[in-house]
């Protein structure tokens, strides 16, 4: 599906026979799938082996693996600016190289809290934050308009597919060869898979003389040079300036709802494997359950993307986050009996709602400053994303149980669902100026 060569533009006024945006989606899905498999799903699989081998508490391990989120909160705006200015390729190359090399060094040299922070937080997780997600989402926002929900749903499904493939295999590798060998093998795979795929990524259709959604190219009189100022305004969407967006209630309601969900998602995802092992599951079976959660994430991402193109997206987000909340209540009251599968099904399905944060942001505020706006959201919500894992670890260290934090997280998701439902589209400003 991935074609590195740029397609020649079709005849003026004629829709191209093949839309290059599908290449961008395929390459971006591969990059995000690998990045998510490592930064999200591998983290929970490595959690218990690292904590045991280095003699760390759950809270300390959570903090060490979440430090990169704090760095990302300060770098996100500048990374977004760089993506808007230079395109996705440099960010992907830097970020995924950092992740791959970090995994190799993590496997070879991590022997203390300090080296864990240096290799995992400052390299592996930070690399994913720079090159694994923001540049791909920004590119998809530009290449797709009418089918944005579907395209981003596929991208989110690819992230879950990465977890489905890596979690059970990684758990088996760790049980067979140890976590150090598994980390080195994973690091090599990251470099081999993602760096070639980055060559396919063009940030905007105008870079190739094309238009979003495969619409017919502009005729010769309207043709604009790639990289020119006009090339950034090929769609009919309204583009808010950064200052205009900041002054809308919608941005802050979205930030609050997204931030609360990030807090819960970070805590549940990182602690899922140790949580299941604490309930009596073996490490290999816990890895299989993480894989099942990821599988449901694929289904959820595709369904949510489909629904997002047909219904008002804030209400779709609200309903799905409410399902997440109910899934956690199910885990709290039902434990790891047959109701465990209800939790995995509901919570896994709802993972795809993360896509709608990016879709809503692009819908409400346009494309021109998308990278910087997403960077601002990351800056504001990342502290909550750090608190979630550390809080879950502290709760376990204090009570030797995850029950209290699961109940608290369920309540927080209910509040987040109300926030999404009330995130209304901002009125179009009279004049949309370039920031």
pTM of the model: 0.68
The answer to the question of residue 218 being in a domain is no
Please report, for the domain that includes residue 180, its CATH number: 1.20.1250.20
Q: Which of 66-80, 335-349, 385-399 has the lowest mean pLDDT?
A: 66-80
Confidence of residue 9 (pLDDT cuts 50, 70, 90): very low
> How far is the C-alpha of 151 from the C-alpha of 170, rounded, in Å?
28
Q: Calculate the CA 278 to chain-centre distance.
A: 27
Mean pLDDT to the nearest integer, 229-255: 70
Residue 293 maps to a domain: yes
**Residue whose C-alpha is closest to residue 265's, from 386, 104, 133, 399:** 386
d(CA 222, CA 238) in angstroms, rounded, equals 20
Domain assignment of residue 35, yes or no: yes
Mean pLDDT to the nearest integer, 330-352: 83
Question: pLDDT value at position 335?
Answer: 67
- Residue 435 belongs to a domain: no
| Per-residue exposure over 81-118, b if at least 16 CB sit within 10 Å of its own CB, e if not | ebbbeebbbbbbbbbbbbbbbbbbbbbeebeeeebbbb
Give which of 197, 41, 190, 194 is closest to 104, Cα–Cα.
190
CA 391 to chain CA centroid, nearest Å: 21
- Residue 387: count other Cβ atoms within 10 Å of its Cβ: 18
23-27, 75-79, 164-168: which is most confident: 23-27
Residue with tokens 């900041």: 246
Q: What is the pLDDT of residue 388?
A: 87
Say how far apart CA 160 and CA 36 lie, in whole Å: 7
Q: Indicate if the pLDDT at residue 4 is higher than 60.
A: no
pLDDT in tens, 45-82: 898 899 889 998 888 888 877 776 666 666 766 777 78
185-199, 243-257, 364-378, 414-428: least confident range: 364-378
Q: State the residue range of the domain holding 162.
A: 21-201+238-421
| Residue 336, pLDDT score | 65
The count of structural domains within the chain is: 1
Band of pLDDT at residue 217, cut at 50, 70 and 90 = low
Answer whether residue 49 is part of any domain.
Answer: yes
Q: Is residue 210 part of a domain?
A: no
- Take residue 174 and report the two structure tokens written for it: 């760790």
What share of the chain has pLDDT > 70, as a percent? Answer: 86
Give dist(CA 363, CA 148) in Å, integer: 9
The Cα 422–Cα 111 span in angstroms is: 47
Mean pLDDT throughout 224-248? 59
Give per-residue pLDDT as tens, 394-433. 988 888 888 888 899 999 999 999 999 998 888 876 554 4
**DSSP symbols for 127-193:** HIIIIISHHHHHHHHHH-STTHHHHHHHHHHHHHHHHHHHHHHHHHHHHHH-HHHHHHHHHHHHHHH
Confidence of residue 1 (pLDDT cuts 50, 70, 90): very low
In this prediction, residue 16 carries a pLDDT of 59
In a domain, 324, yes or no: yes
Q: Is 221 helix (H, G, I), strand (E, B) or coil?
A: coil
Distance CA 173, CA 185 (A): 10
Q: Is residue 432 part of a domain?
A: no
Q: Choose the weakest-confidence range: 123-137, 166-180, 237-251.
A: 237-251
DSSP 8-state secondary structure symbol assigned to residue 13: T
Q: Of all helices (H) and strands (E), which one includes residue 180?
A: helix 179-197
Query: How far apart, in whole angstroms, are the C-alpha atoms of residue 384 and residue 186?
Result: 29
The pLDDT assigned to 417 comes to: 95
Determine the pLDDT at residue 237: 52
Contacts for 116 with CB less than 8 Å, ≥ 6 apart = 50, 54, 56, 61, 64, 65, 106, 110
What confidence tens digit (pLDDT) does each residue in 279-329 have?
777 878 888 888 888 888 888 888 887 887 788 888 999 999 999 999 999
- In whole numbers, what is the pLDDT of the chain averaged over residues? 81
Share of the chain above pLDDT 90, in %: 23
């Amino acid at each position: 599906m991935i074609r590195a060569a740029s397609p020649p533009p079709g005849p003026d006024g004629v829709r191209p026979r093949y839309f290059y945006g599908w290449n961008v989606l395929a390459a971006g899905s591969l990059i995000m799938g690998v990045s998510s498999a490592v930064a999200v799903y591998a983290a929970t699989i490595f959690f218990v082996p690292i904590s045991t081998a280095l003699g760390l508490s759950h809270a300390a391990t959570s903090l060490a693996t979440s430090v990169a989120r704090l760095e990302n909160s300060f770098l996100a705006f500048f990374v977004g600016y760089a993506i808007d200015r230079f395109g996705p390729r440099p960010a992907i190359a830097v970020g995924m190289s950092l992740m791959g090399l970090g995994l190799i060094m993590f496997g070879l040299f991590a022997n203390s809290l300090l080296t864990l922070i240096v290799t995992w937080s400052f390299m592996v997780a930070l690399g994913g934050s720079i090159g694994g997600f923001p540049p791909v989402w920004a590119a998809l926002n530009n290449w797709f308009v009418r089918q944005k929900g579907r395209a981003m749903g596929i991208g989110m499904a690819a992230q879950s597919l990465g977890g489905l493939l890596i979690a059970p295999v990684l758990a088996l590798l760790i049980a067979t060869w140890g976590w150090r060998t598994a980390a080195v093998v994973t690091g090599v795979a990251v470099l081999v898979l993602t760096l070639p795929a980055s060559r396919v990524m063009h940030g905007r259709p105008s870079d190739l003389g094309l238009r979003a959604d495969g619409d017919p190219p502009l005729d010769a009189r309207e043709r604009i040079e790639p990289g020119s100022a006009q090339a950034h305004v090929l769609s009919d969407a309204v583009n808010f300036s950064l200052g205009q967006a900041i002054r809308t209630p919608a941005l802050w309601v979205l930030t609050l709802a997204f931030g609360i969900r990030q807090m819960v998602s970070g805590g549940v995802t990182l602690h899922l494997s140790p949580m299941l092992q604490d309930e009596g599951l073996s490490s290999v079976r816990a890895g299989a359950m993480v894989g099942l959660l990821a599988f449901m994430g694929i289904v959820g991402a595709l369904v949510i993307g489909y629904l997002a193109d047909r219904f008002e997206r804030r209400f779709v987000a609200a309903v799905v986050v409410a399902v997440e909340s109910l899934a956690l209540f199910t885990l709290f009251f039902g434990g790891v009996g047959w109701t465990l599968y209800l939790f995995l099904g509901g919570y896994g399905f709802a993972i795809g709602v993360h896509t709608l944060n990016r879709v809503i942001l692009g819908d409400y505020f346009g494309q021109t400053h998308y990278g910087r706006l997403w960077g601002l959201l990351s800056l504001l919500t990342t502290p909550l994303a750090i608190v979630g894992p550390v809080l879950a670890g502290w709760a376990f260290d204090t009570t030797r149980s995850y029950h209290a934090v699961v109940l608290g997280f369920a309540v927080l998701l209910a509040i987040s669902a109300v926030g999404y439902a009330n995130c209304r589209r901002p009125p179009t400003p009279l004049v949309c100026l370039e920031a």
